[in-house]
Chains A and B, each alone.
Chain A
Amino acid sequence: MFSGYTQLSIRILTSLPLPCSPSVPLVATVNLPTPPPYTRQPTETGLTPCLYCQPSRQNRCLAHPATTTCNQQRERLPVLVILRRDLGLPPVSTTLPRRSSRKRKPSSDHSASTGVNPPPRKKVDVSGAQRLKKAALPATPTTLGSTAMDSDDEFSGHSSMEGFEEDAFDSDMSDELVSDMEVDADAGFDSQDKIIKPGRKAYEVDYRVYSPAEIRAYQNDQINDVSRILEQPPEATAILLRHARWSKERLIESYMDNQEQVLEESGLGEDSAGPPRFQQIKGFVCEICCEDEEGMDTFAMKCGHRFCANCYKQYLAQKVKDEGEAAHIKCPGDGCNRIVDSKSVDLLVSTDLKDRYQTLLIRTYVDDKENLKWCPAPNCEYAIDCGVKPRELATVVPTVRCKCSHDWCFGCTLNDHQPAPCRLVRKWLKKCEDDSETANWISAHTKECPKCQSTIEKNGGCNHMTCRKCRHEFCWMCMGHWQEHGNSWYNCNRYEEKSGSEARDAQAKSRQSLERYLHYYNRYANHEQSARLDKDIYLKTEKKMTQLQSSSGMSWIEVQFLEGASQALQQCRQTLKWTYAFAYYLARNNQTEIFEDNQKDLEMAVENLSEMFEKPADQLKDLKGDMMDKTSYCNKRRIILLEVTAERLKQGESHRSDFGTSEANSRAGAWEFNTDLSA
């Protein structure tokens, strides 16, 4: 009944002080999707707004990406409306009559907050909203008063849970609810109507962070699902799924087509023995250790290759511990392809190895799945699920933030390189690797032969150069023909010389491309270095913050602006750095200029903030306001730049075949690159 979209037109007041949204109350029209069952504790429900959320961001928060709960629209918007209702307060200006006063059972809102669907309501459209609201309803009235309600004076002092239960709204007052909300909204903020668009910014992508435990649970769910369909035990299903690289549909299809072949190929060949278990067999000699003791435990999987339990254990331990194998451990029997299943491993190995085995399994699981990748940060154990496919990388830069707060690109697992697409980044990095220092040196020490353009280093004192390649003779000073120097062998103290100036022109041209590269490279490298230096300062920031706390009597929360500033600096420099690589490959046109303007604005903002950041601690106190302004300005500039760039990049999608070069791209408003990035 609640599946799909619940179309609702609500206009709601909100006045949560959010750093990333204007502090004026918003009136919003939203299409609310049916929310997932809520399980969060009331104290967490959106009342401490997340610093990283964008107001229009619908799905996930960069700070807690693993939870779908840091979702301001769902949490924030409905809060107020319920509050007045649920707290038993009269609506601001209700003109509509109440039809019924049937009390709502307290248990129904309980069920909503614990994730169980509420009992069916009469009207579909509102019950969805109600559920939503109840989910978002915080239980501590004091918190409510302090945050959500400060704009609505009449609520203060009325916040009690008794009121909430007694005067709670009835289940079939749906119409009023909607219209009530409109009335509320219209009461005072007509002029501030603002539409909050659902959806995310152009440069953001959907993703989710998973902990190893979550991945494991997810994997097991998947295994159990398929296990039921195929009627195979879970441990065998796991092997089948791994063989099919976790493509459930493909596995089921091929399994139905040719069960035996699939089993054989996956390493679950025909059974020639009973289920795996320990057994004592009279007169058994282990083929591995040649032991023949009486009463020795032996083990075999369904393939029937029986060895003594000790050898089996040792074999598995060797595979798991030393070789890091898990998903592809084969039966120790010669030529047997049967994969050792997890149940057998559980029977045979010690606890610590079981953990390792499971870890390895999860590792292969993530490696096998295209939409999962491990966070590349050292010692980080989270994985990120992102739906961006490799072929989309030309038009999307899927930057994700792990729970460990490492920003990285899901496409190439390098550090965050917005706004430049992965291919451009790869190309640029390769060029830098090959070129940068060499290019500097070349620029400083060599000239090109005026005739064949080979790069020449002067190795003797004489200015009479002979190009080794084309045998062209020229003067190192004026680059002119040596012949023109004639008998008066040194006359290039005279400035104007025809052939010389032509040669110099040619040289200038070829140098130009080098200079151009160096221009961008130097800025790129500078931001990289500055970011490093800023990071050093960031490490000192903590000290500064304690200093500030003791010297100015500011509280801990009051000095957090320094951390905010530092993070903004890091992030903006990272972006700036890549804008230079991006700009290097851009073809010159109007769009480039807009891009450069945006770049300039961001750069200026960053430099201002960076300068301020270096001031001694005692001055920082007075600069707090200024600094916060500059921080948010920086962030804003960055968002603008990224958004504009990302949107353009997306435009290229429809012209992917001739990505980056054609005129069609420019007509469509997509970026034009001066090189073929697909190469």
Chain B
Amino acid sequence: MSLPKRIIKETERLMAEPVPGISAVPHDDNLRYFNVTIDGPSQSPYEGGTFKLELFLPEDYPMTPPKVRFLTKIYHPNIDRLGRICLDVLKANWSPALQIRTILLSIQALLGAPNPDDPLANDVAQRWKEDQNAAIDTAKEWTAKYATA
């Protein structure tokens, strides 16, 4: 199966001019599958951590959004135990004009600005709202425990 020009171009650009703090490398035997790492944004509980994700471009891409999932455990109200992410641009607000690059930037931004009002992991979100400091401490703990090599 030939790879659409769009995916080739995107991949080339990701390699040639990588986004600081983000890397996305396609799998050798499946060019639609990417190994992704995102650095925790500074001034966030995830600072200093490097989070691994997987990203898959489905058959209909770019008409349908890519599938992205965290592989590293993370304590975040919008990311659940399985690493699934609650992010509008990955669902209803996807536009075919968006790219892997922009999606990964959105995810990085989500790490910097958790939104407990629209939660995926209810327990985390509740804690986040009730006792934000404690929640942030846990997030830092988890980052140190799971996201640092």
Tell whether A pairs with B.
yes
Q: Which residue of B lies closest to A317 (CB)?
A: B63
Interface residue from B64, B96, B102 paired with A288 (Cβ < 8 Å): B96
A288 touches B60 (CB 8 A): no
Distance in angstroms between the alpha carbons of A611 and B127 in the assembled complex: 68
- Chain A neighbourhood of B83, CB < 8 A: none
A315 touches B96 (CB 8 A): yes
Interface segment out of the listed B2-10, B20-28, B34-42: B2-10
- Chain A neighbourhood of B4, CB < 8 A: 289
- Secondary structure type dominating chain A contacts: loop
- Secondary structure type dominating chain B contacts: loop
A314 touches B5 (CB 8 A): no
Distance in angstroms between the alpha carbons of A335 and B102 in the assembled complex: 12
Distance in angstroms between the alpha carbons of A307 and B96 in the assembled complex: 10
A290 touches B63 (CB 8 A): no
A314 touches B63 (CB 8 A): yes
Distance in angstroms between the alpha carbons of A552 and B23 in the assembled complex: 88
Interface flags for B38-64 (1: CB within 8 Å of A; 0: not) read: 000000000000000000000010111
- Chain B neighbourhood of A288, CB < 8 A: 6, 62, 96-97
- Chain B neighbourhood of A336, CB < 8 A: 95
- Chain B neighbourhood of A311, CB < 8 A: 96
Question: A289-B4, A289-B6 are known contacts. Are A307 and B97 too (CB-CB below 8 A)?
Answer: yes
Tell yes or no: B98 within 8 A of A by CB: yes
Residues 301-355 of A contacting B (Cβ, < 8 Å): 305, 307, 311, 314-315, 318, 330, 332-336
Tell yes or no: A291 within 8 A of B by CB: yes
Interface residue from B6, B95, B98 paired with A290 (Cβ < 8 Å): B6
Residues 102-127 of B contacting A (Cβ, < 8 Å): 102
Total count of chain B residues near the partner, CB < 8 A? 15
Q: Which residue of B lies closest to A312 (CB)?
A: B96
B97 touches A291 (CB 8 A): no
Question: A315-B63, A318-B64 are known contacts. Are A334 and B5 too (CB-CB below 8 A)?
Answer: no
A334 touches B97 (CB 8 A): yes
Tell yes or no: A629 within 8 A of B by CB: no
- Chain A neighbourhood of B62, CB < 8 A: 288-289
Q: Which residue of A lies closest to B93 (CB)?
A: A335
B63 touches A318 (CB 8 A): yes
Question: A288-B62, A314-B63, A318-B60 are known contacts. Are A332 and B96 too (CB-CB below 8 A)?
Answer: yes
Distance in angstroms between the alpha carbons of A658 and B77 in the assembled complex: 46
Tell yes or no: A618 within 8 A of B by CB: no
A334 touches B98 (CB 8 A): yes
Distance in angstroms between the alpha carbons of A330 and B62 in the assembled complex: 15
Tell yes or no: A505 within 8 A of B by CB: no
- Chain A neighbourhood of B60, CB < 8 A: 318
Distance in angstroms between the alpha carbons of A315 and B97 in the assembled complex: 11
* B48 nearest CB across to chain A (Å): 31
B97 touches A333 (CB 8 A): yes
Tell yes or no: A287 within 8 A of B by CB: yes
Distance in angstroms between the alpha carbons of A307 and B98 in the assembled complex: 13
Interface residue from A291, A307, A335 paired with B5 (Cβ < 8 Å): A291
Distance in angstroms between the alpha carbons of A318 and B60 in the assembled complex: 9
A335 touches B95 (CB 8 A): yes
B97 touches A287 (CB 8 A): yes
* A369 nearest CB across to chain B (Å): 25
Listed in ascending order, the chain B residues whose CB lies under 8 Å from chain A are 4-6, 8-10, 60, 62-64, 95-98, 102
The 3 A-B pairs at the shortest CB distance, nearest first, are namely: A290-B9, A334-B95, A318-B63
- Extra A-B contacts (9), CB below 8 Å, given A288-B6, A289-B6, A314-B63: A288-B96, A288-B97, A290-B5, A307-B97, A315-B96, A318-B64, A330-B95, A332-B97, A336-B95
Listed in ascending order, the chain A residues whose CB lies under 8 Å from chain B are 287-291, 305, 307, 311, 314-315, 318, 330, 332-336
Q: Can you sample 9 A-B contacts with CB below 8 Å? A: A288-B6, A288-B62, A288-B96, A289-B5, A290-B5, A291-B5, A307-B97, A332-B95, A334-B98
